[in-house]
């Protein structure tokens, strides 16, 4: 297989020890789990759930199957967070999307600069995503996952408080760059891809229970001051299959252009669904093109469809490289990165690599950057 040959992979199935322009689309599908009125006791005291004749399944109910979750995040009052953002001053707005708005703020008690995501509560989905994020981030701890500092659940307010990531999102550094922004060089791109893959590997293989991210995209990969990546926005996260099951059946949710074809068609979610989404983002990193770009000609609007013919002709691989790289990349490294993306984007989920194999390949591709850093 080209993936194994070009990257010289040798890996077992054992787990590692050391280790917004698009909108979300929703398609109803049968949910195989029964509803439950119980919520994790550590969070129920501060969250009032919307009542109704039928409640959609929540990740909180999944969590209960594995025991209670200790939520270590701090609980803030709305007054505290309003003070931190100067009453949510529009000048401090740093992001906006279907989920709500993100503000930059400074906590008065600690003088810490943070990012605050104020969820849109016009509907049950805001409550659902709030619960998913708080509980998911209480289950995990990894350098490539964003750190949840606390949350607010006063009345109808649902606000999440995160560490502030100074360089914004990967999306900000790939598309529509401001005149004063430098494009990412090749090795920084590969290092970001590797770190993002390591975050996914942790969720799939090390987190207990395993977690399927379900919304892997460039706008959800945040970058710190050194361009180290961290996955954010776990509102659609789903606990992975257990007891020998191969997939989780759920309604289809995610972002158009990033969803795996089998998940979009059947609602059957697996770890390989995340691997497909990773392939889309890796292709964005290589090409500097959006997954979906309606400003381009009809043949070029869907990134994966446009790129597939190039995958079949090695002589055209250089045409996939982002023009902003100005051909400053190792030819062999480009070819191998394209091969990795191509394997992740296979139509058949069973032919895609495990995310651990992807990490191994990207460690190799980003190795030269690490060697240069040590020399300096």
- Check whether 372 is labelled as a binding-site residue: no
pLDDT surpassing 70 at residue 256: yes
Q: What is the pLDDT of residue 267?
A: 84
Contact 317, 338 (CB under 8 A): yes
List residues with catalytic annotation: 215
Q: What percent of the chain has pLDDT over 70?
A: 73
CATH numbers and ranges of domains, the chain: 2-25+167-375 (1.10.510.10), 34-163 (3.30.200.20)
Q: Where are the alpha helices (DSSP H) in the chain?
A: 2-7, 41-44, 59-64, 78-84, 124-139, 170-174, 186-201, 261-266, 271-287, 303-311, 331-344, 355-365, 367-375
Grouping H, G, I as helix, E, B as strand and the rest as coil, residue 26 is strand
Q: What is the pLDDT of residue 31?
A: 33
Torsion of CA 24, 171, 369, 191, to 10 degrees: -20
Q: What is the pLDDT of residues 39-76, one digit of tens each?
A: 344 344 444 343 333 333 444 444 444 444 555 678 99
Grouping H, G, I as helix, E, B as strand and the rest as coil, residue 61 is helix
Give me 104's structure tokens. Answer: 């930059």
Q: What is the pLDDT of residue 25?
A: 42
Distances (CA, A) of 12 to 88, 207, 248, 376: 50, 18, 24, 34
Q: What is the pLDDT of residues 287-300, one digit of tens each?
A: 999 999 999 999 99
pLDDT surpassing 90 at residue 107: yes
Q: Angle of helix 271-287 relative to helix 303-311, nearest 10 degrees?
A: 80
Give me 312's structure tokens. Answer: 């079949």
**HSE-up of 4 (CA within 13 Å, CB side)?**
8
Among the listed residues 112, 285, 111, 275, the one whose alpha carbon sits nearest the alpha carbon of residue 197? 275
Q: What is the pLDDT of residues 183-206, one digit of tens each?
A: 999 999 999 999 999 999 999 999
């Amino acid at each position: 297989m080209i993936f194994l040959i070009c990257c010289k992979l040798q890996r077992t199935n054992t787990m590692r020890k050391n280790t917004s322009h698009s909108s979300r689309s929703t398609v109803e599908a049968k949910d195989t789990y029964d509803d439950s009125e119980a919520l994790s006791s550590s969070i129920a005291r501060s969250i009032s759930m919307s009542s109704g004749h039928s409640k959609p399944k929540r990740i909180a109910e999944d969590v209960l199957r594995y025991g209670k979750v200790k939520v270590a995040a701090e609980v803030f009052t709305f007054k505290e967070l309003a003070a931190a953002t100067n009453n949510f001053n529009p000048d401090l707005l740093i992001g906006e999307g279907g989920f709500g708005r993100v503000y930059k703020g400074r906590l008065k008690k600690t003088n810490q600069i943070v990012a605050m995501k104020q969820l849109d509560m016009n509907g049950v989905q805001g409550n659902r995503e709030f619960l998913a994020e708080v509980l998911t981030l209480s289950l995990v701890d990894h350098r490539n996952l964003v750190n949840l500092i606390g949350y607010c659940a006063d009345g109808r307010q649902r606000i999440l408080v995160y560490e502030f990531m100074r360089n914004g999102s990967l999306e900000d550094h790939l598309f529509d760059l401001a005149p004063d922004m430098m494009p990412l060089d090749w090795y920084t791109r590969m290092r970001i891809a590797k770190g993002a893959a390591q975050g996914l590997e942790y969720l799939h293989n090390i987190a207990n229970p395993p977690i399927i991210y379900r919304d892997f995209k460039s706008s959800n990969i945040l970058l710190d001051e050194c361009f180290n990546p961290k996955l954010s926005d776990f509102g659609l996260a789903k606990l992975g299959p257990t007891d020998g099951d191969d997939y989780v059946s759920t309604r289809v949710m995610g972002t158009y252009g990033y969803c795996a074809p089998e998940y979009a068609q059947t609602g059957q979610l697996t770890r390989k669904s995340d691997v497909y989404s990773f392939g889309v983002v890796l292709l964005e990193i290589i090409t500097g093109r959006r997954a979906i770009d309606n400003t381009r000609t009809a043949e070029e609007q869907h990134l994966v469809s446009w790129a597939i013919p190039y995958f079949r002709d090695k002589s055209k691989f250089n045409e996939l490289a982002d023009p902003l790289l100005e051909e400053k990349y190792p030819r062999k490294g480009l070819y191998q990165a394209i091969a990795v993306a191509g394997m992740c984007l296979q139509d058949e989920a069973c032919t895609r690599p495990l995310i651990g194999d992807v990490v191994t390949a990207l460690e190799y591709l980003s190795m030269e950057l690490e060697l240069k850093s040590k020399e300096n």
